[in-house]
Amino acid sequence: MLLLIIAGLFVSNNILKKEYGKADKSDLYWNYGKILEQPFSHINMEGGNITNIAFEQSSKPSVRVYKSWEGYKKEVVKAFVKNDTLFLKFPNTYEDIFDRNWMGWNTLVRLFSPQLLSVTGTNTKFKMFKTKQKSISINMAGKSTFELESMSPEFDSLHIIQNDSSQVVFEMSPDYKISEVFHVKYVEADLKAVSFLDIGHGQIDSLKLNIADGSGILLSGGTLKKGKKL
């Protein structure tokens, strides 16, 4: 029995070494397997709020899933592109508390595309890193969180629709060392139920709001001081 266990470990170790040897070490995310490599400019997501889904701008579009997660082998994440929109479905049927905790600590899905013009999500947890685009439309529902970290301090327009208990945050990337403040020419936001929007670091020129009684929005002092001009 002991010999069998040792032999099994030896074989497993050799397999892992071969996989590591095949990986492109210049690829920062070589430990994520590609399940799709079609171009897209919009995203429509369902599920995924028990883990983290990340987006980064890249010249090479792809959808990647963490190889060490059993969900990668079982192909539980469904992805396809139609009319320039990536449809992503992520099942939330994980009852084991240890699995759920592990998934919550990790980023199991990573998305890459040259640009992302709109994000629609239900019961999802989505974060955009180091973005440089000027405009985006967000539509979040269910128990969802969305966060955008920008490397550019200038935005042309932000269009935001929120329902249920969704939370949306816009802020500067920690890698942008100059300032935490950004400038937006125009913001339009429609908040329903008990949703919350944080654009507290933004200096906004023009603002159009429709906020339900149970919803909330965080604005900067500079934006509030403009008063009737907005």
- In this predicted structure, what is the pLDDT of residue 58? 96
Helices vs. strands in the chain: H and E counts, helices first: 4, 17
3-state DSSP helix/strand/coil % of the chain, to nearest 5: 20, 45, 35
Q: Name the pLDDT band for 16 (thresholds 50, 70, 90).
A: very low
CA atoms within 13 A on the CB side of 211: 13
The helix (run of H) or strand (run of E) holding residue 5 is helix 2-22
Length of the chain: 230
- In this predicted structure, what is the pLDDT of residue 120? 98
Render pLDDT for 39-70 as a digit per residue (tens, 0 to 9). 999 999 999 998 999 999 999 999 999 999 98
92 Cβ neighbours under 8 A, 6+ residues apart: 47, 48, 49, 50, 123
Q: Which tokens in the block code for residue 150?
A: 């920008």
Given a cut of 50, whether residue 38 has pLDDT beyond it is yes
Render pLDDT for 120-175 as a digit per residue (tens, 0 to 9). 999 999 999 999 999 999 999 999 999 999 999 999 999 999 999 999 999 999 99
Given a cut of 80, whether residue 221 has pLDDT beyond it is yes
Q: How many CB atoms lie within 10 A of CB 178?
A: 7
